[in-house]
Amino acid sequence: MTRRIGGALNADALARLHFHALDRVEQAQAIRRLAATGQGEHTIACATGLSVEQIRRVLAEHDEQIGTAI
């Protein structure tokens, strides 16, 4: 569901639509980039439309991948 203001999608809704159009790998990369800039889990969840738990899972999977690569 998207919100319309004055007949046009607002910027937040457009960003979420764009995010959800990405494949799973690209979504994970975007989440990691947001986290690397200092964005918190709740902020990322709000921006992406995902739950905080989903954000934590993506970040934890990345940490595991890095740990096994070392």
**Domain annotation covers residue 1:** no
Q: How far apart are CA 39 and CA 37, in angstroms?
A: 6
Share of the chain above pLDDT 90, in %: 66
Looking at per-residue pLDDT, the higher value among 64 and 16 belongs to 16
Query: Does the residue 2 lie in any domain?
Result: no
pLDDT above 70 covers what percent of the chain? 83
- The whole model's pTM is what? 0.76
Assigned domain for 48 exists: yes
For the cut 70, the answer to whether the pLDDT of residue 2 exceeds it is no
Bridge partner residues of 56 (DSSP): none
Task: Find the domain containing 58 and state its range.
Answer: 7-69
40 vs 11, higher pLDDT: 40
Q: Is residue 30 part of a domain?
A: yes
Q: Which of 11-15, 17-21, 28-32 has the lowest mean pLDDT?
A: 11-15
- The domain total for the chain is 1
